[in-house]
Structure 1
């Protein structure tokens, strides 16, 4: 039974490690869903070539987090498999059934532990404080900073050809954009994408420009057809 309980402990520790990595990634500015997915991918050793992955590997802090997750994951998966084999090797039929039942019960408890929102929130608070105290990571809770839970949103808006804002400067659009703050613009220039950060009033909005805007959710929807980030 020692090997079986060791396996369950390894699984719990693996979940905690992934959760720490996920929260650390989230606090660097990416969404919780993407952070969770990338942390699980790194820990399990499964690679995905996506835009999100590129955004992570080009960011020095996120790259450090992923590197640690890959290292711990390679050890954790191997240890878990070896422990699972030891838990059942050389056991009689009745003992195998008993151990199987214990394993299923343990996995159910772990599943409930992993799915608990309360436990997640408590862990996030603890992990955030620990990261701030013992690491040099730049920790920011962007949801709190931008008030994203208070009716505000950051949205990616694509300027369509038939949109009245097209081919007009931000200054000329000031009356329409009074409640919308344009944080940045991604503009296609051939095969490359030009990034315009904190655009001033002289910048003219062009067709297919991707605007990163911050405003109240209803204010954005009144002006553009948008895709929330």
Structure 2
């Protein structure tokens, strides 16, 4: 699987960056987002029966993503994909579970959510491998972004790494303000629930430091990266991101 991973703390605007980038694509051969890639796989793996033509037509419609995702999963064989390709990501999975075993979180809800999400991410990546998908996938919620401590990973084992990373950052005060706005909109992640303002700021600072450590480790592994400040993203920066993706996929 060819993927470029968007990295950075929660609540700083990574999803907004992805949406803004879409208008700079010439077409979907430049790159696709996760759900777009899964939809393409689903369409390409339908046979020519009438029922499959109906499903293909349905996939083209602008429907709720949740409904479309359920349909895509019913077409793609994620379980078989994981069984056949999971070994490629075994080092990441092993180190991820080992971290949560030795460093149990005080927030059980957050821990359960993270483990479940990580396993889903790996299964989706295995699905792209299984169906031999070649278009670059731009991942907002990728395995490296979710891994709490990449130093625990055994890089000598068979390990698939991204073509590049786009590292997103924001100053602490602006990050705090954006998280508070998300809270008002009911979009607060479990990690931040119940925190006083001073605790939230400390958590944001600590979390950002961890992401810097991960970024530096990946750079040391020779993975190309692009650094972007999300405080006020201009078109010139989006064009630079596009050029970065094009260059690393040559």
Q: Please give the range of the TM-score, normalised by the shorter of the 2 chains.
A: under 0.3
More helix per residue: 2
When Rg is computed on C-alpha atoms for both structures, the one with the higher figure is 1
Instruction: Report which structure shows greater RCO (CA 8 Å, sep ≥6).
Output: 2
Q: TM-score, normalised by structure 1?
A: 0.26
More strand per residue: 1
